[in-house]
Amino acid sequence: MRIHLVNPNTTRSMTEKIAAAARAVAAPGTEIVEATSTMGPASIEGHYDDALALPGLLAAIAQAEALGVNAHIIACFDDTGLDAARSLARAPVVGIGEAGFHFASLIAHRFSVVTTLSCSVPVIEANLLRSGLDRRCARVRASEVAVLELEDVGSDARARISNEIGRAVREDRAEAIVLGCAGMADLARALGETHGVPVIDGVASAVALAEGLVRVGLATSKSGAYAAPRAKAYSGRLADFAPSGG
């Protein structure tokens, strides 16, 4: 089984960290094929970055789809471009945010999300509504750690994230925590031991879900919302993204 894991931002070091987390939980026989977007922002923080990350993400999805991968994982907690990628791909596409929410709902009655900056909170809240799991989420909290701080070994990012988890457990009565950034993937186990509640990494959750979908033989439905885009001309810099249809 080959699972394509794409980082929609352009920071290669983050891709390597995410891929390592994915390989650590992948089943024997699962190959993780990682990719870093070749165009777009260095990190995705808010709606503007999210919009400009889409062309690079979709190019990576198209390339991997042509290679015949069995599933795709979008390694941004905002689930950047998830619907568009599902329209483009026949293989299953799993977002790490959606995966983390679902895993939390299976092991806890009430969970909180601890993410990076405040500008990401509304995006995650909207995704919780979309998934129908907003009632199970006590709160989406910002640690005010910029995404690229997670790549700085001298940063106090881990301590600030840990402090916010402690507040979520005390103030929200959270029974589990979902880490709201792919760049936090390597922190989950240690933070869980520190706070005595399950701390969920969306990358690991997405690998498990993608493997399960492939094993039971499910692919993205091409009826309705995720039907292949119709052939038409695209203009300007997006001309190369024009769909061929079917």
8-56 pLDDT, tens digit each: 999 999 999 999 999 999 999 999 999 999 999 999 999 999 999 999 9
The answer to whether residues 154 and 83 belong to one domain is: no
Give the pLDDT of residue 153.
Answer: 80
The answer to whether residues 108 and 189 belong to one domain is: yes
DSSP 30: P
pLDDT tens across 101-147, in order? 999 999 999 999 999 999 999 999 999 999 999 999 999 999 999 99
The answer to whether residues 218 and 159 belong to one domain is: no
Give 237's pLDDT tier (boundaries 50, 70, 90): confident
**Which CA distances in Å does 28 have to 6, 25, 32, 213, 236?**
21, 9, 11, 16, 45
Domain limits for position 141: 97-201
Give the pLDDT of residue 151.
Answer: 86
Give 97's pLDDT tier (boundaries 50, 70, 90): very high
Using the predicted structure, report yes or no on whether residue 152 has a pLDDT greater than 90: no
The answer to whether residues 117 and 188 belong to one domain is: yes
Instruction: Report the number of distinct structural domains present in the chain.
Output: 2
Give the pLDDT of residue 240.
Answer: 86
What's the CATH number where 83 sits? 3.40.50.12500
In a domain, 246, yes or no: no
pLDDT tens across 164-218, in order? 999 999 999 999 999 999 999 989 999 999 999 999 999 999 999 999 999 999 9
Which residues have a Cβ under 8 Å from the Cβ of 235 and sit 6 or more positions away?
none
Using the predicted structure, report yes or no on whether residue 69 has a pLDDT greater than 80: yes
Using the predicted structure, report yes or no on whether residue 71 has a pLDDT greater than 80: yes
The answer to whether residues 195 and 219 belong to one domain is: no
* 140 burial level (CB within 10 Å; 0-12, 13-18, 19+): buried
The answer to whether residues 67 and 113 belong to one domain is: no
The answer to whether residues 87 and 129 belong to one domain is: no
The rounded mean pLDDT for the chain is 95
The answer to whether residues 86 and 107 belong to one domain is: no
Dihedral sign computed on CA atoms, order 145, 11, 75, 38: positive
The answer to whether residues 74 and 107 belong to one domain is: no
pLDDT tens across 155-168, in order? 899 999 999 999 99
Give the pLDDT of residue 246.
Answer: 62
Of the candidates 45, 116, 38, 95, the residue with the CA atom closest to the CA atom of residue 213: 95
